[in-house]
Amino acid sequence: MRCAFFRYTVIAADMTVPNADRAIIAREKLVGYLLNVSHKRGGPKARLLQSVGYRSDNPQKLESDLRAQHLSLDVTGTHESAYGVVYEIEGPIKTPSGKTVRFCSVWQVDTGTDVPRFITMYPR
């Protein structure tokens, strides 16, 4: 199955995000966007994430779950952008509420670096 974040996604087989153990997940991306119900674009994602137990006062839980439950999965799509190589992962995350929700997470290794950084996530 493929995520639909980008138009030109190519399926990658049996590959995880390179250097996933060093991935950068910016606190502001979590608190200011994904867990912020007032954010213009992130609000709907924040409402979903909060409904399954994630909280803006504990972004470490979402970060931990992304690292443990998503970065260990195989990449479902990849492509090159103007900024580097983008990797998409689709799979389940067991949330703090006990529900399992299928998400797509998007990661990018910027040109000139070898460390992935978290871009976004959305429900599938």
Range(s) of the domain holding residue 42: 23-123
Q: What are phi and psi of 33, to 5 degrees?
A: -125, -70
Residues contacting residue 7 through CB under 8 Å, at least 6 positions apart: none
Residue 91 to residue 96: CA distance in whole angstroms: 16
**Beta bridge mates, 105:** 89, 121
In this structure, are residues 41 and 47 in contact, taking their beta carbons and an 8 Å threshold? Answer: no
Domain membership of residue 111 (yes or no) is yes
Residue 72 to residue 96: CA distance in whole angstroms: 19
Predicted confidence at residue 14, as pLDDT, reads 81
Domain membership of residue 13 (yes or no) is no
10-residue averages of pLDDT along the chain (124 residues): 52 82 98 97 96 98 98 95 96 98 98 97 95
Length of the chain: 124
Domain membership of residue 18 (yes or no) is no
Predicted confidence at residue 13, as pLDDT, reads 62
Domain membership of residue 85 (yes or no) is yes
Predicted confidence at residue 31, as pLDDT, reads 97
Domain membership of residue 12 (yes or no) is no
Q: CA Rg, the chain, in Å?
A: 14
**Beta bridge mates, 103:** 91, 123
Structure tokens at 36: 């912020």
Domain membership of residue 10 (yes or no) is no
pTM of the model: 0.89
Domain membership of residue 44 (yes or no) is yes
Domain membership of residue 7 (yes or no) is no
- For the chain, the domain total comes to 1
Count of CB atoms within 10 A of residue 14's CB?
6
Predicted confidence at residue 103, as pLDDT, reads 98
Residue 15 to residue 53: CA distance in whole angstroms: 30
